[in-house]
Amino acid sequence: MRALHPFTLLAVAAALPALAWILPAPAGGLATAGIAFCLLGSRGLRRGLWPALVAAAPFRLFLLLLHDVRTTLAIGLRISTMVASFVWLAAVLAPDRLVEATVARGWSITAAYLFAATLSAVPMLRARARRIVEAQRCRGLSPRGSVANRLRALRALALPLVLSALHEVDERTLALEARGLVPGARRTPLAPPPDRVVERVVRWGLLLLCLAALVRRVA
């Protein structure tokens, strides 16, 4: 499944939740949730099943707290479809293949850079945030007590993180300029993922299916 074109994976992950919301409940939601969990349960991806089930569980609990059983079932199946589809997508979609696919399709290098740079910056800054929390605790910062005390502690934790991140913008700017990444520049992809005719047909088919279901639902 990982060999599929990234746009096909995105199309499937977008179409399933869309259909779950468009098709009449609970049959529509049951069908889409079934497909999404089957995709997750396919060979090599079974480890994704548990996170999806665990992530969707609190929603069912809270839905039951706020709604009757019928509504809980309808909304719960839609949310389960959404969670399972995206957990599946995260498991099968390699960001570097997506970047290559967007570049091969002629999309702006800016969009590809933003996606790839964000995915690499988030874990880096999270690790730095944890280090700052530990460092400030070592210096005697107490993040407990009254709300005012906690807000002061929050400022002491957040300011170094945000300021250090903003100083990093200078380094990144120099790196981008040195690599000639300016608006309008085109890059040649090294290994563009193959986009077979059958996959293109599937993508258009999914779009038409969603539109047809929407028209039928509205009519």
Partner 1 sequence: MSARLLALIPVAVAISLALSAAVDAVALPLFLDTTGTILATALAGPVVGIAVGALTSAVNTLRNPTFWPFVVVQVIVALYAGFAARAALFRSLKTAVPAGLGLGVIASLTSTPISYFVFGCTTTGGIALTTALGKALGLPPLGACFFGSFVSDFGDKAVTFALVASVLHALPRRTAARFPLALRAIGAA
Footprint of partner 1 on this chain (CB under 8 A)?
A: 17, 21, 55, 58-59, 62-63, 65-67, 71-72, 75, 79, 82-83, 85-87, 89-90, 110, 113-115, 117-122, 124-126, 128-130, 132-133, 137, 143-144, 147, 150-151, 153-155, 157-159, 161-163, 165-170, 172-173, 175-177, 181-183
| CA-wise closest residue to 79 among 94, 95, 64 | 64
5 vs 78, which CB is nearer to partner 1? 78
151 vs 201, which CB is nearer to partner 1? 151
Contact 15, 209 (CB under 8 A): yes
- Distance in Å, CB of 211 to partner 1, minimum: 19
Contact 81, 32 (CB under 8 A): yes
What end-to-end distance do the CA atoms of the chain give, in Å?
Answer: 36
- Distance in Å, CB of 209 to partner 1, minimum: 20
191 secondary structure, DSSP code: S
- Distance in Å, CB of 56 to partner 1, minimum: 10
| H or E element, residue 202 | helix 197-218
- Distance in Å, CB of 25 to partner 1, minimum: 12
| CA-wise closest residue to 88 among 30, 49, 31 | 49
- Distance in Å, CB of 153 to partner 1, minimum: 5
167 vs 186, which CB is nearer to partner 1? 167
CA distances 20 to 36, 155, 204, Å, are 10, 42, 18
